[in-house]
Amino acid sequence: MPAETRSLADDVVAITGATSGIGAAAAHQLVDAGAKVVLGARGAEGVDKLVAELGEENAVGVACDVRDPADCQRLIAAGVRKFGRLTGLVANAGIGAYGGILDYDDELITRMIETNFSGTVWAVRAAVPVLLEAGGGDIVVLSSVAGLRGGADEAVYAATKFAQVGLAGAMDRELREKGIRVTAVCPAGVSTEFAMGLGRTPGMPALDDYLQADDVAFAITTVLRQPRRLRTTQWALWSNGQSS
């Protein structure tokens, strides 16, 4: 008999980098599935707009720069204050830059490492005590296929994404027995603001073969909906038009 999916009606899920692309799509799908969401991004205006779209009964938002541990603590605290608990974290905030190893400037390298890697660590450290209080829950780390095999012209970005995969794997081994499932979701190129650059422009036909933000949000929602006796430690996803 196939396993039944888990209801998200009692779930409260924090999402970093929630106002655009994958984060915003996940917020919509999770609320459609019955969960409450706790939304963070640097831009307060984007956060307020998304809360208004989703309804204040379903969402709360905080301006949160994941590079600042105190901001991550404030995000999680706002969720607990509004909804009484937290059952999940989607550590999604991330930035990308492409170019040879000598092409990046020092400031951009620092910003990428601090956002993609340190920011994931700070968000996780804020969430874990509260997830443990709730008796367990889910952490989804938004890495990339670049975190499984780094390509040319993305060395530092790939390294930050490898670091997230390593973090997620080690946390799975640390937290599984405490009821926290940890998943690294690793998409190929997704047609979002992030994917622009390198000669890509919005609407260009090559982007038709890319994943859509909703495809990745589907993976995130599916991971959370697994019955509690299952867990997925890594989910790499491509569209059928993308080669692996």
Ligand X SMILES: NC(=O)c1ccc[n+]([C@@H]2O[C@H](COP(=O)([O-])OP(=O)(O)OC[C@H]3O[C@@H](n4cnc5c(N)ncnc54)[C@H](OP(=O)(O)O)[C@@H]3O)[C@@H](O)[C@H]2O)c1
Show which residues are catalytic: 157
Query: CB neighbours of 26 closer than 8 A, spacing ≥ 6?
Result: 15, 18, 90, 92, 216, 217, 220, 221
Interface with ligand X (CB under 6 A), residue from 29, 87, 115, 221: 115
Interface with ligand X (CB under 6 A), residue from 67, 74, 176, 231: 67
Question: Binding of ligand X at residue 82 (CB under 6 A)?
Answer: no
The pairs formed by 212-217 with CB atoms below 8 angstroms and a separation of 24 or more are: 212/25, 213/21, 213/22, 213/24, 213/25, 214/25, 214/29, 215/187, 215/190, 215/239, 216/22, 216/25, 216/26, 216/142, 216/185, 216/187, 216/190, 217/22, 217/25, 217/26, 217/28, 217/29, 217/30
Interface with ligand X (CB under 6 A), residue from 29, 73, 87, 144: 144
Q: Which of 136/234 has CB closer to ligand X?
A: 234
Q: Are 115 and 95 in contact (CB under 8 A)?
A: yes
Question: Binding of ligand X at residue 17 (CB under 6 A)?
Answer: yes
CB of 143 to ligand X, least distance (A): 7
Question: Binding of ligand X at residue 73 (CB under 6 A)?
Answer: no
CB of 108 to ligand X, least distance (A): 13
Question: Binding of ligand X at residue 29 (CB under 6 A)?
Answer: no
The stretch near ligand X (CB under 6 A) out of 13-21, 78-86, 219-227, 234-242 is 13-21
User: Using CA atoms in the order 100, 104, 106, 111, what is the torsion angle rounded to 10 degrees?
Assistant: -110
**String of contacts with ligand X for each residue 166-195, x by CB under 6 A:** ---------------------x-xx-xxxx
Cα–chain center distance at 178: 22
CB of 68 to ligand X, least distance (A): 8
List interacting residues with ligand X (CB under 6 A). 16-23, 41-43, 46, 64-67, 92-96, 115, 119, 142, 144, 187, 189-190, 192-195
